[in-house]
Amino acid sequence: MVEIAGFKINIEGWFEKSIQLNELKSKCRERIEDRICDIAIGLLYPETLREADHDEELENKIKQSEYEVFIFLPSKEGVDEKSLGKMKLEKVAESLNYLYTQTVKADLLRDKIDKIEEAIQACAEMTSISSLFFSSQKIIEELKKALGIGEDVELRRTFRKDLTKMALFIIFNGLLFHQIISAHYRNINRLEKVPESNILSFIRKEWEKIMMINYLPIFNLAFEIISCFPISRETDGIFRNLIPVVLETISSGVLLNTT
């Protein structure tokens, strides 16, 4: 088991005559499905490695031999298999790094982005159904002011929805950094500790503590936006939709491992 950029990689290596190819592939799939690793490599050793007379000869053969290589990657549909053919170990490492950059990181990041978009869309629909935002001109004007939109700009209903989504994304970003920062300061309560009700007051209190430390560029705007929210069941519902996605995004390591 090795790690690359925070991803666990399991190498399943067998001699060619010691295992059936389908059995090797099955073992690799199981490693990912059982969440033992993020990426699995199936490696078939050539039988010539058994013929080395001493360690130095074996080491040279390991470097010079070619191996049948299969890589198994997580995807939205399950587990994808890629056959890389025969190659030396040095080439295996190069191929794995390329696949990580081009495939794994992109797929997992896209999956997390989709979940964030779905959560924000669900919250936006919630505000529309409950009329939390659209029925209150005061809230609309406060959001416009917080986001730097001129007072003379008349918002159409479609643009109001975009305004709401923009505000929700900024809140999501604030929650994301809140959770990351809480790991470094004991006095900052983690998002797992949110109460059953009046979540808004909890978030405001924690963000005030964070801004006393610093991090003003991140939290100034987010704090202004949540200050536009009323204390209500709908507001609690918004936080309950966003927080699980924040926690999942952070625990996956995808965003923190993406440059």
**pLDDT, position 132:** 59
Residue 167 tokens read as 């505000």
Tell me how far apart the alpha carbons of residues 246 and 222 are, in angstroms, rounded to a whole number.
15
The most confident of 78-82, 179-183, 200-204, by mean pLDDT? 200-204
pTM exceeding the 0.85 threshold for the entire prediction: no
217-243 tens-digit pLDDT: 889 889 988 988 888 888 899 999 999
Of 166 and 142, the structure prediction assigns the larger pLDDT to: 166
Residue 115, φ and ψ in degrees, nearest 5: -65, -35
82-96 tens-digit pLDDT: 888 999 888 888 887
- Rounded to the nearest 5 degrees, what angle is found at the Cα of 189, between the Cα atoms of 186 and 190? 105
**pLDDT, position 200:** 94
**pLDDT, position 194:** 94
**pLDDT, position 259:** 46
Percent of the chain clearing pLDDT 90 (strictly above): 28
**pLDDT, position 34:** 84
- DSSP collapsed to 3 states, the chain: CEEECCEEEEEEEEEHHHCCHHHHHHHHHHHHHCCCCCEEEEEEECHHHHHCCCHHHHHHHHHHCCEEEEEEEEECCEEEEEEEEEECHHHHHHHHHHHHHHHHHHHHHHHHHHHHHHHHHHHHHHHHHHCCCCCCHHHHHHHHHHCCCCCCCCCCHHHHHHHHHHHHHHHHHHHHHHHHHHCCCCCCCCHHHCCCCCHHHHHHHHHHHHHHHCCHHHHHHHHHHHCCCCCCHHHHHHHHHHHHHHHHHHHHCCCCCCC
**pLDDT, position 242:** 94
Tell me how far apart the alpha carbons of residues 11 and 138 are, in angstroms, rounded to a whole number.
59
63-112 tens-digit pLDDT: 899 999 998 887 766 788 888 899 988 888 888 777 766 666 666 667 77
Nearest to 44 by CA among 74, 58, 72, 65: 65
Query: What's the mean pLDDT when you consider all of the chain?
Result: 82
CB 19 within 8 A of CB 45: no
Mean pLDDT to the nearest integer, 174-182: 92
6-53 tens-digit pLDDT: 678 899 999 988 888 899 999 999 988 888 888 899 999 999 888 888
What is the bridge-based pairing of β-strands 78-87 and 39-45? Answer: unpaired
Nearest to 256 by CA among 172, 170, 176: 176
